[in-house]
Chains A and B, each alone.
Chain A
Amino acid sequence: MKFLSLLPLLGAALALTSCEKVIDYELRETDEKLVVEGLITDQPGPYTVRLTGTTGYLSPGQVPTRDADLVTVTDVEAGVTDTLRRTEAGVYQTTPKLGVGQLNHSYRLLVVRGETRVEATTRLRPCTPIDSIGFTYRTPGNDLVQDSGYYVTVYFREPAGRGDYYRINFYENRAWRNRAELFYFDDELYDGNYGDPEIEGYPVQLHDTVTIELRSLDRPAYDFLNGLATSQYQGGTPFDSPPANAPTNLSGGALGYFGASQVRRVTRVVQ
Chain B
Amino acid sequence: MLSGLTPGLSALPHGAHAQTAPAAAASVTIKGHLRDAASGEALIGAAVGVKERPGTGAVANEYGFYSLTLPAGTYTLIVQSLGSARQERRVTLVAGQNQTLDVELRADGQQLQEVQVTSEREDQNVRSTAMGTMTLKAAELKKIPALLGEVDVVRAVQLMPGVQTAGEGTGGFYVRGGGVDQNLILLDEATVYNASHLLGFFSVFNADAIKDVNLIKGGIGAEYGGRLASVLDIRMKDGNAKRIAAAGGIGTIASRLTLEGNLGKRGPVDSLGNRAPAPGSWMVAGRRTYADVFFKLASDKSLRDNVLYFYDLNLKANYRLSARDQLFVSGYFGRDASGNKTFGINWGNATGTVRWNHLISDRLFSNTTAIYSDFDYSLGSKIENSAFTWKSHVRDYSLKQDFQWYLNPANTVRFGAIGTLHRFLPGDIKPGAGSYFNRITIKGTDATEVAAYIANEQQITPRLTLNYGLRASGYANVGPGKTYGYNDPSNPDRPTDTTEYKRGEIIKTYGGLEPRLAGTYALNDQASVKASYNRTRQYLHLLSNTTASLPFDVWTPATAVIPAQTANQWAVGYFRNLKDNMFETSVEAYYKTMAGQIDYKDNAQLLLNDRVERTILTGTGRSYGLEFLVRKQRGPLTGWVSYTLSKTERRIGGINGGDWYPVRYDRRHNLAVVGSYQLSSRLNLGANWTYVTGGAVTMPVGKFVYEGTAFPFYSSRNGYRLPDYHRLDLAVTLDDRVKPGRKYAGSWTLSIYNAYNRANPFSIYFREKEDQPGETEAVMTYLFGILPSVTYNFTF
Contact = CB atoms under 8 A, between A and B. Distances in A.
A190 B699 contact: no
A238 B764 CA distance: 11
Interface in A174-228: 179-180, 188-196, 219, 223, 226-228
Given A10-B338, A18-B783, A234-B712, A29 B603 contact: no
B386 A24 contact: no
- The 4 A-B pairs at the shortest CB distance, nearest first, are namely A244-B602, A25-B778, A241-B545, A238-B548
Given A228-B706, A228-B711, A242 B718 contact: yes
B431 to A, nearest CB: 9
A228 B717 CA distance: 17
Given A196-B436, A237-B763, A21 B782 contact: yes
B711 A232 contact: yes
Interface string A255-267: 1110000000000
A235 interface: yes
Interface of B: 166-167, 169-170, 198-199, 301-302, 308, 338-340, 342-343, 345, 379, 381, 383, 385-386, 388, 390, 436-438, 440, 491, 493, 545-548, 550, 600, 602-605, 608, 664, 697-715, 717-718, 720, 723, 759, 762-766, 772, 774-785
Contacts of A238: 166-167, 169-170, 546-548, 762-763
Given A35-B704, A179-B707, A238-B547, A13 B779 contact: no
25 contacts: A3-B343, A3-B388, A10-B338, A13-B198, A13-B308, A17-B783, A19-B759, A22-B780, A23-B778, A29-B701, A30-B701, A33-B713, A35-B705, A56-B702, A56-B703, A57-B699, A60-B774, A143-B342, A188-B438, A189-B438, A191-B438, A236-B763, A237-B762, A242-B698, A246-B711
A57 to B, nearest CB: 4
Given A18-B782, A23-B723, A189 B713 contact: no
Contact of A256 (B169, B706, B776): B706
A237 B603 CA distance: 15
A191 B431 CA distance: 14
Interface in A93-127: none
Contacts of B785: 19
A230 interface: yes
A235 B763 contact: yes
A250 B704 CA distance: 15
A149 B301 CA distance: 19
A61 B784 contact: no
Given A243-B700, A247-B602, A6 B379 contact: yes
Contacts of A240: 546
B702 A33 contact: yes
A23 B52 CA distance: 68
Interface in A131-165: 140-141, 143-144
**Which of A57, A192, A255 counts the most B-chain CB atoms under 10 A from its CB?**
A57
Pick the most buried of B308, B388, B703: most chain A CB atoms within 10 A of its CB. Answer: B703
Given A10-B199, A19-B781, A242-B717, 14 more contacts: A3-B381, A9-B343, A11-B199, A13-B338, A18-B781, A32-B702, A37-B707, A54-B704, A60-B772, A60-B776, A61-B774, A189-B437, A226-B603, A243-B699
A49 B720 CA distance: 35
B32 to A, nearest CB: 50
A116 to B, nearest CB: 15
Given A189-B437, A244-B603, A18 B713 contact: no
Contacts of A257: 706
A55 interface: yes
B712 A57 contact: yes
Given A140-B302, A190-B438, A245-B714, A60 B763 contact: no
Nearest to A236: B763
Contacts of A6: 343, 345, 379
A20 interface: yes
A52 interface: yes
A134 to B, nearest CB: 11
A27 B603 contact: no
B763 A57 contact: no
B438 A193 contact: yes
A19 B784 CA distance: 8
A156 to B, nearest CB: 11
Given A24-B778, A35-B704, A247-B602, A58 B766 contact: yes
A54 B767 CA distance: 17
Contacts of A193: 436, 438
Contact of B491 (A3, A35, A219): A219
A22 B577 CA distance: 48
B714 A63 contact: no
- The CB with the most chain B CB atoms within 10 A, among A2, A28, A257, is that of A2
Contacts of B493: 219
Nearest to A11: B199
A231 interface: yes
Contacts of B546: 238-241
Contacts of A190: 436-438
A205 to B, nearest CB: 22
B258 to A, nearest CB: 27
B726 to A, nearest CB: 16
A235 B762 CA distance: 10
Contacts of A35: 704-706
Nearest to A220: B491
Contact of A54 (B602, B713, B774): B713
B714 A243 contact: yes
A31 to B, nearest CB: 9
A141 B301 CA distance: 7
Given A29-B702, A57-B703, A57-B776, A194 B381 contact: no
Given A193-B438, A231-B712, A243-B698, A63 B703 contact: yes
B302 A20 contact: no
Contacts of A52: 704-705
B704 to A, nearest CB: 4
B714 A244 contact: yes
Contacts of B766: 57-58
B780 A21 contact: yes
B439 to A, nearest CB: 10
A154 to B, nearest CB: 12
A169 to B, nearest CB: 10
B383 to A, nearest CB: 7
A54 B608 CA distance: 36
A236 B723 CA distance: 13
Nearest to B386: A2
A35 B720 CA distance: 25
Contacts of B715: 28, 30
Nearest to B440: A188
A256 B704 contact: yes
A175 B603 CA distance: 30
A149 B381 CA distance: 22
Nearest to A181: B709
Given A33-B702, A223-B603, A236 B765 contact: yes
Contacts of A191: 438
Nearest to A24: B778
A20 B780 contact: yes
Best-buried of A33, A55, A179, A238 by chain B (most CB within 10 Å): A238
A180 B343 contact: no
Given A141-B301, A241-B546, A23 B779 contact: yes
Contacts of B706: 35, 37, 228, 255-257
A18 B698 CA distance: 21
A63 B711 contact: no
Given A60-B775, A188-B440, A196-B436, A13 B199 contact: yes
A3 B711 CA distance: 25
A185 B629 CA distance: 53
Contacts of A60: 772, 774-776
A25 B547 CA distance: 22
Contact of A14 (B199, B436, B707): B199
Contacts of B776: 57-60
